[in-house]
C-alpha cells in the first residue's frame, strides 16, 4: 500500500522589500520649492542663501548638541531610522493576513504541529517566533506575554529614535540664532563701511533660516514619520499575534479572518476587555 503523501507546505508571502517613500520625497520637494520659489518671487536669488559657513554652524552645532544629549546606542538607532523616513516597506498587510489564514487552515486540518516547517520558512521574524512557540506547545497566555513584551520594546526603540530628531528640531533654531550672532560680530568689525554692513547683516541671518528651516522641514517631520512607521508596525504585529492566538485556540479560519480584517480597515479594533 502506497504511503500517504505529505501535506503541501503553506506558501508564505515574499520577503518584504523597500521602495522610496513618495510622500516624503514629494513633501521635501514641495517644501524646499515653496521656500525658494517665494524667495525668487520677492526678487531674491537662491545664491543668497547658499552659505556653507552657515550650514556648517547649524548642522554641526545641532549634531553636537544631540550627541551630548543622547546615548550612543540610541544615536545608532536614530541613524538607522532615517531609512524608514526615506523608504517604505513594499509588503502589504493583506498578504500577511492571507499567510496567517493559510496557516490556520492547515492547522485546522492537520494539527498545529504540522506548521513546524512552515513556521521556520516565514519571512516575518515576529510571526516566525510566535508560530514556533505555538508549535512547541507554549501556553497561550505565555505566548501573549512574550510577544506583547516584544511589541512594547520595539515601540520604545522607535520612540527613542523619534525623540532624537525632535531634539534636533529643538536645537537647530537656537543654533541658527547663534550663527546669526556670530555673523553680526564679524559685520560690526567693519561698521565703517555702510554698504558692507548691509550685505553682512543679510548674510548673517542665513544661519537663522537654516536653523528654522531644518527644524520644520527635516527634523520634526522625520520624527513624525518614524512614529507613523512604528504605529503601522505595531498594528501589523498585533494582527499577527491575534491570528496566532486564533490558531492556538483552534478557531475556524473564517472567524480568524473576520477578526484580522478589522486591522485592515481605517480604524483599529479595541483589544479584548477594553472599551472602543
192: helix, strand or coil: coil
- State how far the Cα of 213 lies from the Cα of 259, in Å rounded to an integer: 44
Q: What is the pLDDT of residue 2?
A: 42
What is the per-residue burial (b if ≥16 Cβ within 10 Å, else e) of 177-203? ebbbeebbeebeeeeeeeeebeebeeb
- State how far the Cα of 275 lies from the Cα of 259, in Å rounded to an integer: 16
Q: In tens digits, what is the pLDDT along the chain, a chain of 276 residues?
A: 444 444 455 655 555 567 888 889 899 999 999 988 998 898 888 888 888 888 999 999 999 999 999 999 999 999 999 988 888 876 677 888 999 999 999 999 999 998 888 888 888 899 999 999 999 999 999 999 999 999 999 999 999 999 999 999 999 999 999 999 988 888 777 777 666 666 677 778 899 999 999 999 999 999 999 999 999 899 999 999 999 999 999 999 999 999 898 888 744 444 444 433
Q: What is the pLDDT of residue 17?
A: 65
- Single pTM value for the model: 0.82
Q: Which helix (H) or strand (E) holds 263?
A: none
Alpha helices in 70-219 (DSSP H): 72-86, 93-110, 116-121, 125-135, 140-188, 194-204, 206-213
What is the per-residue burial (b if ≥16 Cβ within 10 Å, else e) of 76-105? ebbeebeebbebbeebebeebbbbbbbbbb
With beta carbons less than 8 A apart as the criterion, state whether 124 and 240 touch: yes
51: helix, strand or coil: coil
- State how far the Cα of 233 lies from the Cα of 12, in Å rounded to an integer: 19
3-state helix, strand, coil in the chain (%, to 5): 75, 0, 20
Name the phi and psi angles at 223, rounded to 5: -60, -40
> In this structure, what is the dihedral angle of CA atoms 12, 247, 136, 231, given to the nearest 10 degrees?
70
Please choose, from the candidates 109, 118, 128, the residue with its C-alpha nearest in 3D space to the C-alpha of residue 11: 118
Amino acid at each position: 500500500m502506497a504511503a500517504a503523501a505529505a501535506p503541501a507546505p503553506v506558501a508564505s508571502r515574499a520577503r518584504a522589500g523597500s521602495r522610496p517613500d513618495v510622500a516624503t520625497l514629494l513633501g521635501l520637494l514641495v517644501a524646499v520649492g515653496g521656500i525658494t520659489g517665494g524667495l525668487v518671487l520677492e526678487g531674491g536669488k537662491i545664491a543668497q542663501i547658499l552659505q556653507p559657513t552657515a550650514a556648517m554652524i547649524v548642522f554641526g552645532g545641532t549634531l553636537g548638541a544631540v550627541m551630548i544629549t543622547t546615548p550612543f546606542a540610541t544615536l545608532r538607532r536614530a541613524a538607522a531610522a532615517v531609512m524608514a523616513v526615506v523608504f517604505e516597506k513594499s509588503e502589504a498587510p493583506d498578504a500577511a493576513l492571507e499567510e496567517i489564514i493559510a496557516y490556520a487552515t492547515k492547522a485546522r486540518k492537520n494539527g498545529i504541529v504540522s506548521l513546524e516547517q512552515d513556521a521556520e520558512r516565514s519571512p516575518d521574524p515576529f510571526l516566525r517566533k510566535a508560530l514556533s512557540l505555538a508549535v512547541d506547545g507554549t501556553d497561550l497566555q505565555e505566548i501573549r506575554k512574550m510577544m506583547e513584551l516584544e511589541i512594547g520594546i520595539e515601540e520604545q526603540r522607535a520612540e527613542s529614535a523619534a525623540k532624537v530628531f525632535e531634539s534636533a528640531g529643538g536645537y537647530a533654531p537656537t543654533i541658527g540664532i547663534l550663527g546669526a550672532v556670530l555673523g553680526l560680530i564679524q559685520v560690526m568689525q567693519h561698521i565703517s563701511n555702510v554698504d558692507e554692513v548691509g550685505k553682512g547683516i543679510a548674510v548673517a541671518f542665513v544661519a537663522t533660516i537654516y536653523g528654522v528651516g531644518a527644524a520644520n522641514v527635516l527634523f520634526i517631520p522625520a520624527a513624525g514619520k518614524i512614529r507613523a512607521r512604528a504605529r503601522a508596525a505595531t498594528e501589523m504585529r498585533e494582527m499577527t499575534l491575534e491570528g496566532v492566538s486564533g490558531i492556538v485556540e483552534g478557531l475556524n479560519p473564517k472567524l480568524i479572518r473576520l477578526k484580522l480584517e478589522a486591522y485592515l480597515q481605517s480604524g483599529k479594533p479595541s483589544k479584548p476587555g477594553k472599551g472602543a
